[in-house]
Structure 1
Amino acid sequence: TMTDPTLHLAVHLSMILSLRVGEILGLQPGDIDFDAADGRGTITVGRSLQRTEKLALEKTDPNQIYHIFPDQREGSSSALVLKKPKTKKSSRTLYLTKPLKEELLAWLEKLRQDELAMDGRYRNCGQLFRLPNGMPVAPEALSKWYRTWRAEHPEFEKIVFHGLRHSSATYQLIESGGNIKAVQGNTGHATTGILMDTYAHTQDKPRLELAEKLEADFYSQDIGSPKSGSVPVKENLPDSIQITPEGMLKVVRQMNPEQRREFTRLLFA
């Protein structure tokens, strides 16, 4: 449903690699090594593209700036600036997935075709993300394209572009079983504390879902009266839904393998 190749690649990078908008647009073709990691491929994040007011630029440490792109509009009060990343941890090398690697290869071919189509009028800015004329894609342009697409597809969750990075980090935390250091290496957060402060809610949703599943399963069972020596969990319930250790085991035994794995994972999360 996302047919714009520029937007599709940007969203793909954000979701799989947890990249910020500026980091995505700060990438250059030379940052990609398709043969690294035994052919899996890597991409190195080391720059950020931002729109900065020219007055603020005058106060910016020149050592933090790699390049200032020429104005696209005469008299503009701001400029596109290629800067050093947000923090030292923001500089990182990330592993590609096979689909992402294939999309990047197709994208580089598209850039070559764009240059040929311009017949000498192409202005290669050096960035991975370029307009058809070779100039860089601005952060506000990418965000606008994404908002337009989102408005045209109400069936998808309403989430801002930066929210894709949050969703990516949340997914990685859950999939890794809470391996904070590994996820921090991908997201580029300055500290694990910042990562956990931002995404501490990730454990709330699965635990809430577990509580709802337990309620739905346990209270729907005809568990019967507690046997001699058993201790009911909730004594004021009618006999037909008394919760006992035996009853709990009965419910667990009736779960399919996938439900059992999910139950165990969430129980000890």
Structure 2
Amino acid sequence: MACKVKKVPNGGGTIRKRSDGRWEARYTNGFDPKTGKQIQKSVYGKTQADVRKKLQAVCTAINTGNYIEPSKLTVGNWFDIWLKEYTGSIKPLTLKSYTVAINNHIKPSLGAIKLSSLGTHSIQAFYNKLLHGSEEMLGLSPKTIKNVHGVVHKALQQACEINYINANPSNACKLPRVEKTKIKPLEETEISNFIKAIKGHQFENLYLFTLFTGMRQGEVLGLTWDSVDLQNGTILIYQQLQRIDGVYKFVSLKNDKSRNITLPPFIIKLLQEHKAMQNQWRLLAGSSWDNSNHVFSNQLGGHLAHVTVSTNYKKIVKSIGLPDARFHDLRHSYAVAALQSGDDIKTVQENLGHHTASFTLDVYGHVSDRMKIDSANRMENFIKTVHEIS
């Protein structure tokens, strides 16, 4: 039965404004088998445009045979629909994480509940169980529960927007506190020891480049020569290399925002020498050379694997007494060094590709606190100098 839209008598078309200020659109979906009368439904919204969008979505679903009566939908049904139909614009790795959260946690615990009956208490009990664990499973970290909640909230919010439920029951849930991870940048002496340790290593240039640009590992491995302007000393960062289901692919950046960074002369010289060395590899490889144009490649021009770069890094830092150091700490080390050298927060934020300067300040606030102390000490020295002159 095709979706039919109920006309309102005042000639206002399919949509009317209610006395309570909300907008309503009415439609019919088949006939009641007992009475033979048309089954009438309504969708509501704050604006006329909002209602028109909801009505179009419902009618399209009915006319294509994909409509499921909201009252009959289970949480599991809806999350399957949401995952298939409403996540088309998100990144592959994000989609994979959503799928894991839904299949491993959400559906096993909440999947059988009717969507219209899902309440805040049920979701809160679910989060509490994830945190504390049970005989069948160990408890999860607050950060993981926060990620699961993000999936729950997004899916239920979409159900609200198409009028399957009236309100999002996850809004009022209380999440466990996520402890802020303490960053561990390399100290000045550790950086010096690291530079000595990588001398002559196959990834020496890659590690130095990462340390003095602060780029993410995926951004470094996804960098291609067409993004490098050696003459002007700049780089355009617009993609990253990720391993998705066993296959390496170029994908957009973490926040979908490309950025330009200006390189210090040391890194420009490093890239010039690296390109010359890579040209030698190209000549030796001959027809076996991979023309994927990676800046940091293997000796046949192909991409480098994240695990290979990280494993070699771990061996090096362990050899200099830093067994807990992570590859990402090179990025932290750059940020701290930049701030301590006098770069302002906004510049560091743009170089790192953070969404906002406030996020950068939140992550590296301890550095700015030390900078404030240094500033106060410089002012004290200035005051003493002025008093001596007078």
Query: Same-fold call, TM > 0.5?
Result: yes
1:190 to 355, 360, 381: 355
Length, aligned pairs only: 186
- Residue pairs, 1:1-269, within 5 angstroms: 1=196, 2-4=198-200, 6-36=202-232, 41-53=233-245, 78-89=246-257, 91-154=258-321, 159-176=325-342, 179-205=344-370, 263-264=377-378
Offset of residue 5 of structure 1: 5.3
Q: 1:267 to 1:22 in 2, by over 3 A?
A: farther
Q: Distance in 2 between matches of 1:164 and 1:266?
A: 34
Percent same amino acid at aligned positions? 26
Tell me if the contact between 2:237 and 2:259 (Cα under 8 Å) persists in the aligned partners: yes
Q: Which has the higher contact order (CA 8 A, sep 6+)?
A: 1
Offset of residue 171 of structure 1: 1.7
Q: Distance in 2 between matches of 1:170 and 1:204?
A: 12
Deviation string 1:146-194 (CA, Å, 9 cap, x unpaired) is 111112222x6852110111111122122226x2111111111011121
Normalised to the residue count of structure 1, the TM-score between the two structures is 0.62
**Aligned to 2:364, what secondary structure does the other structure show?**
helix
Q: 1:262 to 1:147 in 2, by over 3 A?
A: farther
Tell me if the contact between 1:6 and 1:129 (Cα under 8 Å) persists in the aligned partners: no
Report the RMSD for the aligned CA atoms in angstroms.
Answer: 2.6
Tell me if the contact between 1:206 and 1:266 (Cα under 8 Å) persists in the aligned partners: no
Structure label with greater radius of gyration? 2
Normalised to the residue count of structure 2, the TM-score between the two structures is 0.44
Structure 2: runs of 5 or more not aligned: 1-195, 383-390
Residue 63 of structure 1 corresponds to none
Offset of residue 267 of structure 1: 9.3
Deviation string 1:101-121 (CA, Å, 9 cap, x unpaired) is 111011111111111112322
Deviation string 1:74-97 (CA, Å, 9 cap, x unpaired) is xxxx111111111144x1111111
Q: 1:17 to 1:265 in 2, by over 3 A?
A: farther
Q: Distance in 2 between matches of 1:180 and 1:85?
A: 21
Q: 1:157 to 1:267 in 2, by over 3 A?
A: farther
**Aligned to 2:286, what secondary structure does the other structure show?**
coil
Offset of residue 4 of structure 1: 4.2
Q: 1:266 to 1:195 in 2, by over 3 A?
A: farther
Q: 1:176 to 1:13 in 2, by over 3 A?
A: same
Structure 1: runs of 5 or more not aligned: 54-77, 211-260
Tell me if the contact between 2:239 and 2:252 (Cα under 8 Å) persists in the aligned partners: yes
Q: Distance in 1 between matches of 2:251 and 2:273?
A: 27
Offset of residue 14 of structure 1: 1.9
Tell me if the contact between 2:339 and 2:368 (Cα under 8 Å) persists in the aligned partners: no
2:360 is aligned with what amino acid?
L
